[in-house]
Amino acid sequence: MLRREKKTGLKKRKPIRVSAVVVAAGASRRMGQDKLAMRFCGDTVIGHTLRAFQDSPDVDELVLVVREGGEKPVLEAASGCNKVTRIVHGGATRTESALRGVMACDSGTEIILIHDGARPLVSEAVIRGAVAGARQFSAAVPVTPVTDTVKVGRDGFAAETPPREELFAAQTPQAFRSELIKAALQDAVDHQLTLTDDCAAVERLGMRVKLVEGDVRNRKITYPSDLPLAEVLWKELHP
């Protein structure tokens, strides 16, 4: 005999549609070669990145932003990802590339994640935390505490030492309500601003961005020396 489930009075959250924009339109100048095509632990950098979002139950759609002439490694990695719906070319700046990506997302998307293609070690916990933060606060960024003492320099001299407990290193994916990030990025592009991350565009509009827990392993591949460490960290995440 089947037992009736006891009513708890708790309402189940309505499912939301989440799109992830992976920005892979950089020139890899500091690496000296296309870092997205570099291999470690059986796949390319961009391959590991896309697989993290393909495997995430929190993500419904993947939109890829690539640079003209640098499509090959991204397209090869995307061939095994059925969540990829659109691939667009990037703009002249990181902000323009992000804007092109978010505008290509499905019209029914409620939360948009924006992620660096060169961060292949993002975990499901970080993705889920970013989505939850944006759902509750409209904008969220995964961060880790800064452990070094940081100096503000002016004219070659240390001018200020900010309190370390107030400093955090920002990671991606950064997560936003769809209409908010579209408006913020469009405003930044209209004002010809060069921003290093997408939260800065939202902050300019006077909106607060929720800090959520990041992961020290969620590192960006920038220099050749990052690859050996990425291999160690990847094996730690996938024992």
Report the distance separating Cα 147 and Cα 132, nearest Å: 26
- Measured over the CA atoms of residue 51, residue 117, residue 27 and residue 168, the dihedral's sign is negative
Report the distance separating Cα 159 and Cα 155, nearest Å: 9
- Is the pLDDT at 3 greater than 50? The verdict is no
For the chain, give the secondary structure using H, E and C: CCCCCCCCCCCCCCCCCEEEEEEECCCCCCCCCCHHHCEECCEEHHHHHHHHHHCCCCCCEEEEEECCCCHHHHHHHHCCCCCEEEEEECCCCHHHHHHHHHHCCCCCCCEEEEEECCCCCCCHHHHHHHHHHHHHHCEEEEEEECCCCCCEEECCEEEECCCHHHCEEECCCEEEEHHHHHHHHHHHHHCCCCCCCCHHHHHHCCCCCEEEECCCCCCCCCCCCHHHHHHHHHHHHCC
- Let me know how long the chain is: 239
Domains and CATH numbers, the chain: 18-237 (3.90.550.10)
Of 68 and 186, more confident? 186
pTM of the model: 0.91
What would you report as the CA-atom Rg of the chain, rounded to the nearest whole angstrom? 19
* Residue 182, phi then psi, degrees to nearest 5: -65, -45
Report the distance separating Cα 216 and Cα 220, nearest Å: 10
User: What does the pLDDT look like over 132-147, one tens digit per residue?
Assistant: 999 999 999 999 999 9
- Is the pLDDT at 29 greater than 70? The verdict is no
User: What does the pLDDT look like over 102-122, one tens digit per residue?
Assistant: 999 999 999 999 999 999 999
- Is the pLDDT at 90 greater than 60? The verdict is yes
Taking Cα atoms as reference points, which of 11, 215, 54, 18 lies closest to residue 135?
18
Q: Report pLDDT for 155.
A: 96
Average per-residue pLDDT in the chain? Answer: 92
Structure tokens at 10: 């708790």
